[in-house]
Amino acid sequence: MRTCYLHLGMPKTGSSAIQQAFHGYEDRDIVYAALGGPNHQSKIKNNFKKTPEKLPFFRRHSFDEKQVRKRIKASRKLLKKSLRTRKSVIYSGESIADHLDPSEMAEMFVFFQKRFARVVVIAYVRPLATLVSSQFQQRIRTGQREFVLPKPRYRRFFEPIVDNIAPENLHLVRFHPDDLLGGDVKQDFQQRVGAKGPLRTPGPVNKSLSTEAVAAIYAFNKYTGYLLPADKRVQMLAQMKRRFQGLGETRFGLTGGLVEQHLRDHADDVAWMEDKAGFDVKGEISTVPHPVGSEADLLMIADRFSALRAEDWRKQDEGRQ
């Protein structure tokens, strides 16, 4: 049976690792869609967003109407081309449901259901206790300048999926080593789509930054980044993330008190997700040696880190003289 496999995240569940491992994959029965890169989310969003000019990518890069139309046309061409096979096809985009509204999601599902005998959705669900620190770090990496923990938005993300896909074709999987085949999300996904061939072995994907690096980027966002033009800010954030890889000594994490309050604040959303998924979505609060509990903590760490980096650079300059 020719099947469309839609891997729809959620974010912070190893999606990039899956995409890098499957990019270019093809065997006798199944192919990973060639949409110009391993992550398909932008191409799919471009096809189904009624107001694509409002998508973050286009706004961030200040694309004009002509540039947006050109991108949309190219995305539609690639999607149409990917359907010219008798094999089953895999599409993967972890943030599609974040940027398409329920009606646009429904239209996307109808599009694929008309072209395949079966549409199967695979989505990994990360429990909130471990999700929040990862989400918060990611938001800072992309420019957040307020010490506000991001909402999980389980219902907002998953309800359009649950409403449009029959239960037998919906795989909601807890993102936890105990629930993943071999404790590995790539191996688990491979088994669920029935891919038989060897996968690519990608290098480290989306490696976490240390607490010190996260704090330095937060200070940049708060005091400098927002004053810059959007394209310059994006460029500088990318440079900082590259330079800070491997620097710092502590793993980023939030205090248990902050996480416990976050769980209480979003208990209704968690309960909705648990009802649909049938497993625990609260999760267990993990601890790190030096957790962050406030904005003051982050800024103090950033100050110390900046002083240490300045001293290192001074010594390097002296060594060149």
pLDDT at 219: 96
- Which parts of the chain have pLDDT scores under 50? 313, 317
Distance CA 72, CA 81 (A): 14
pLDDT at 185: 97
pLDDT at 309: 62
Q: Dump pLDDT digits (tens) for 134-167.
A: 999 999 999 999 999 999 999 999 999 999 999 9
pLDDT at 114: 98
Q: Dump pLDDT digits (tens) for 103-113.
A: 999 999 999 99
Note the Cα 72 to chain centre separation in Å: 22
pLDDT at 312: 56
AA identity, residue 232: K
The model carries a pTM of 0.90
- Do residues 108 and 161 make contact, with C-beta atoms less than 8 angstroms apart? no
Q: Dump pLDDT digits (tens) for 41-72.
A: 999 999 999 998 888 888 777 788 889 899 99
pLDDT at 154: 98
Q: Where are the alpha helices (DSSP H) in 83-198?
A: 96-99, 102-113, 128-141, 154-162, 185-193
Kindly report the number of other CB atoms within 10 A of residue 184's CB atom. Answer: 14
pLDDT at 57: 82
Q: 4 pairs with which residues across the strands?
A: 89, 119
3-193: what CATH class? alpha beta
pLDDT at 6: 98
- φ, ψ (nearest 5 deg) of residue 91: -120, 140
* Angle CA 113–163–111, to nearest 5: 20
Domain chopping of the chain, boundaries: 3-193
